[in-house]
Structure 1
């Protein structure tokens, strides 16, 4: 209107005033953030001078994404075994619903958050805490990590710019020096952690106790499995395949190596696919809707999803090490092996000791299901060897061992402990469907001795 009236000077003045107002707002907002950050750090420094509270413990997982992984299993067991212990969980506001009642919730960057970090005796996380954390005398920091490592981690990423290009390795070493305990699921993991996360502190103790988050896989009933399947929406009697690929350091978006709609059509109406995106991606794995493709990326417990499924299809995800405890079929889909090895690298050749059948393309994957190889005797043998190597201590008591050593100071805890159950004696979580799994629709015939109608072998380890 001003331009139509020829009032160009007035227009420019108003436009300049609007720009100035926006700049002032941004400056004021930045100033408020600086003042608040300074006030928080001053408050934290004051709290650091107050006594450490021996009855307080702080837990977190996956950069404050919610109640999950081994810290959750340890927190639950600690409340059960440690008298008078008060626990807090750090999580974002949108994830507070995942935290059980009775546990104090802490929002990152608040006064309560910094007070808890300063004065709680026990600090438990599966990633690192804030780099500004000051490790006090009398505090105990337990690093649980989040899975058995297949892909390279820590300092081993120094020569892999696609994966570790933005990582601050000096800060990483400073964080490692704050650890008192480093949790390991098996001997392979122990050797990797000691190499990838070297500590300058002589007091760091590795706890080769098993993976606490896998305790649920050993302590679940058939009723629990049925409840998990119902909550997810798996049709009764259907065979549920969990598809969970890991992230790619050389890609900006989630890698989807399969045409899932084609796969689910080929498998037939008795199969459903559960898709779970890697936690580093916010978007669902598959866009659009298909009645037999169920996105479970937002499900708070990957362990419950695993129990609800009948088989796992993955690539290089550490979920395979956890899933092997269920003694259910695992199929590896490795379509970009060379690219993944070049960008990230692995600690061992998965093809030399796989947990089951390996497919290098979508057609090979469909053939594995068509012939029944995915749950045949050879796959069962590979799975048994994989379990023996990577799941020796996952007997359902890993969280208890951790709590007794870290929280109760029991230095006599060892593995195998008196309460540990040998591989041969362990009973995995009950399978969700009977052994007579439906034959995929794409199957036109079977080879002798490889009938898909035969139930999966369950050899003893």
Structure 2
């Protein structure tokens, strides 16, 4: 008996079917049967299914003699299922890599619940991907099983059949099946979820829900949408037969009204001549099933009135929204004029020579190089007043209480930025910020550049998608100083940003803590931030940090290069795998592709949200990365670095690179996962060759990082003291002398 029976009905999807089937048959977990149902499809679906069945014994094909529709096609497959669990997969959707393994592990962990709900992502025909906006419902469900009554938020999720797996014996004993019709998911999902005695949640994207250009069947204009009434009648009939479910009747009553009104509100669903009839049937059903204690308010209250009243109400609502929009535009224009006037007023006042304005990572908080400069200025130049620009009130609430701040765009922000003498940022200031004569703009950057930036992106159309390079250069024209950690960075910035600034060989201020962070060695990594203690990493463990970067050849930037669960297992006892995603991927599908679930189960540590990367770097014993610039920072710790470069040609073709990191690496290079696993299994990741490669890399790229970069910036630029030369990284054979300033 297989663990899973995957039932895949097929009708007019020949263009998508192979991708669907391949996504199942290439799963790392192979204990399943795939029951494909040819619903008398007029295209080539039947032949494709027979082809797959001929070469894979796990595929069973049912050819129906006539077209019966999605629900009955599922029933046909259900009758042949022998697996412990059922998964209904639409034939234009796909499973994500590792999905079945993740589901199987979660089922085992929760001792075979009746239903397991997993996450999904919408994939669009133009290449975009968006994670389920209610993913937090799965996260907050917790590790234990529950019922709908214990955790009613599970009903907020999209009530469809394909984001769940079902214990087959539970389905059989309850007699669940699919009715015919357009809305066949409704009388399946509500009875199943309300009846389940044990439900589990899996916070992982296991399915890609394809958003076709012309929409799905529910997006077509047809009288078939009247089917929704029959399907909810089935739901109400089911509940009426089970007294223990009667408490759900008010919820289902409102849900039915909202669902039907949602269909009515979409102009592409019903023919205009049928809209009044649809409303009246909905209203009659709403009245017929209204419980005595049902609360009727909000939009569903329209169902207690007439079709004419509903239309008037809708028209009034549209008129009201338009009036609000116009009022907001007027208020916005007036506020903009007021802010402009306020800024102009303060722009005529003298610059405040003691005022320093800071920002980092597009106003995300006290971070990076600007944070290091700010901290050092408070220490050695307390007369300077530092003010941070932050993006919103939520960000401001996370700041330490003694940090003065302003919210971007506010009148207070306009006043501060109009008066400040000094500006410190690691990205460009917005174009609305005018540079006053006499002000000093200090640009710290965000690390040593490996991939193309600035003007060098002009011949990389994929990498500059959505990026206005000329505008970027106009903003860079405001720079007075560009901080560099090595001569390579100095040359790159001056080429990529052909503007009038002075390169200052200060080192990277944020790396001071790494240079001064303490000795390396497992269990004694100089973790000043207490990272290991916060995450419960056992003393003596070798901590492996995996920090991949984004890919420009894939829309959205995320590409799974390593099976994290396998890597953690292959590292073996005495090791902890820590994962830190690129900041631009932190809130996208990347977390949902397994990282969040693996972290919950304690297989890996997810350090993506750690605000201070130095705390993570100091706590780890070896870095595994692909092409992330974090390798240049990590080299300051003089700890092993392994480069996983399995897609280097594709990466360089799409983004471009200033350095061939596979030819001049900071340590061993793995061109496949097999090579990566071998480096750790053999211990080669920390051998003498690794140390030699790292020494040469440090000599080139940690050249000016001597632990005093922040002090150098404060004394030289904010206090006007003479520039003190950075101490060299003492690598045998490196020349000691160097210039201190060059002009771009």
For the superposition of Structure 1 and Structure 2, which TM-score range results when normalised by the shorter chain? 0.7 to 0.9
The alignment partner of 2:483 has SS state of strand
TM-align CA RMSD: 2.1
Separation of aligned partners in 2, 1:147 and 1:355:
16
Cα distance in structure 2, aligned partners of 1:208 and 1:256: 37
**2:723 match:** 413
- Indicate the SS of the match to 1:113: helix
Query: Contact (CA 8 Å) 1:225, 1:308: kept in 2 or not?
Result: yes
Q: Decide which of 376, 386, 399 is 1:87's aligned counterpart.
A: 386
Q: How far apart are 1:12 and its partner, in Å?
A: 2.2
1:51-85: per-residue Cα shift (whole Å, max 9, x none)?
Answer: 11111101111101111111111111112222411
Q: Does 1:231 align with 2:534?
A: yes
Aligned to 1:207: 504
| C-alpha displacement of 1:43 | 1.4
Distance (whole Å) between structure 2 residues aligned to residue 66 and residue 234 of structure 1 = 27
Per mean C-alpha deviation after superposition, the further-off stretch among 289-298 and 344-353 is 289-298
**Whole-angstrom distance in 1 between the partners of 2:495 and 2:486:** 15
Runs of 4+ in 1 over 6 A off after TM superposition: none
SS state at 2:550 partner: coil
Normalised TM-score (structure 1): 0.86
**CA contact 1:125–1:144 (8 Å) conserved in 2:** yes
Matched, 1:75 2:374: yes
- The equivalent residue for 2:335 is 36
Which residue number corresponds to residue 291 of structure 1?
A: 602
Q: Does the CA contact (< 8 Å) of 1:183 and 1:207 recur in 2? A: yes
Contact 2:551 / 2:559 at 8 angstroms: preserved in 1?
Answer: yes
* Separation in structure 2 between the aligned mates of residue 177 and residue 362 of structure 1, nearest angstrom: 44
Q: C-alpha distance in 2, partners of 1:11/1:60?
A: 50
Are 1:242 and 1:276, in contact at CA under 8 Å, matched by a contact in 2? yes
Confirm whether residue 370 of structure 1 aligns to residue 686 of structure 2. Answer: no
Counterpart of 2:325 in structure 1 is 26
Q: Find the partner of 1:57 among 336, 356, 378.
A: 356
- Alignment of 1:188 with 2:488, yes or no, is yes
Cα shift readout 1:415-451 (whole Å, capped 9, x = no counterpart): 34xxx364259xxxxxxxxxxxxxxxxxxxxxxxxxx
Q: Which of 543, 568, 586 matches 1:282? A: 586
2:730 aligns with 423
Question: Residues 209 and 398 of structure 1 are in contact (CA less than 8 Å); yes or no, is this contact kept in structure 2?
Answer: yes
Corresponding residue of 1:443: none
Q: Distance in 2 between matches of 1:239 and 1:86?
A: 42
Deviation at 1:253, TM superposition (A): 4.5
Question: Does residue 248 of the first structure (1) align with residue 551 of the second (2)?
Answer: yes
C-alpha distance in structure 2 between counterparts of 1:15 and 1:276, whole Å: 48
Given that 1:79 and 1:85 are in contact with CA atoms closer than 8 Å, whether structure 2 keeps it comes out as: yes
Post-superposition offset of 1:396: 0.3
Aligned residue in 2 for 1:329: 640
Q: Alpha-carbon deviations, 1:235-271, whole Å to 9, x = none?
A: 2221111111111122214333111001111111311
Using the TM superposition, give the Cα deviation of residue 343 of structure 1 relative to its aligned residue in structure 2, in angstroms. 1.1
- Which residue is equivalent to 1:107? 407
- Matches of 1:16 and 1:96 in 2, distance apart? 40
Structure 2 CA distance, aligned partners of 1:145 and 1:9?
A: 61
Q: Is the 8 A contact 1:329 1:380 kept in 2?
A: yes
- Unmatched runs of 5 consecutive residues or more in structure 1: 426-461
Counterpart check, 1:140 vs 2:450 = no
Task: Choose the corresponding residue for 1:158, options 442, 450, 458.
Answer: 458
In 2 relative to 1, CA 94–298 (structure 1 residues): closer, same or farther, beyond 3 Å?
A: farther
Q: Partner residue of 2:28?
A: none
SS in 1 for 2:338: helix
Give the gaps of 5 or more residues in structure 2. Answer: 1-256, 258-278, 285-304, 519-523, 733-744
- Matched position secondary structure for 2:576: strand
Q: How does 1:293-372 map to 2 (within 5 A)?
A: 293-372=604-683
Contact 1:240 1:272 survives alignment (8 Å): yes
Contact 2:445 2:483 in 1 (8 A): yes
TM-score normalised by L of structure 2: 0.54
In 2, distance between residues paired with 1:218 and 1:312?
A: 16
The 1-side partners of 2:562 and 2:360 are apart by: 30
Q: Does the 8 Å contact 2:578/2:606 carry over to 1? A: yes
Return closer, same or farther for 1:328/1:393 CA change in 2, 3 Å cut-off: same
Give the whole-Å Cα distance in 2 for the aligned partners of 1:424 and 1:27.
66
Q: Distance in 1 between matches of 2:356 and 2:567?
A: 46
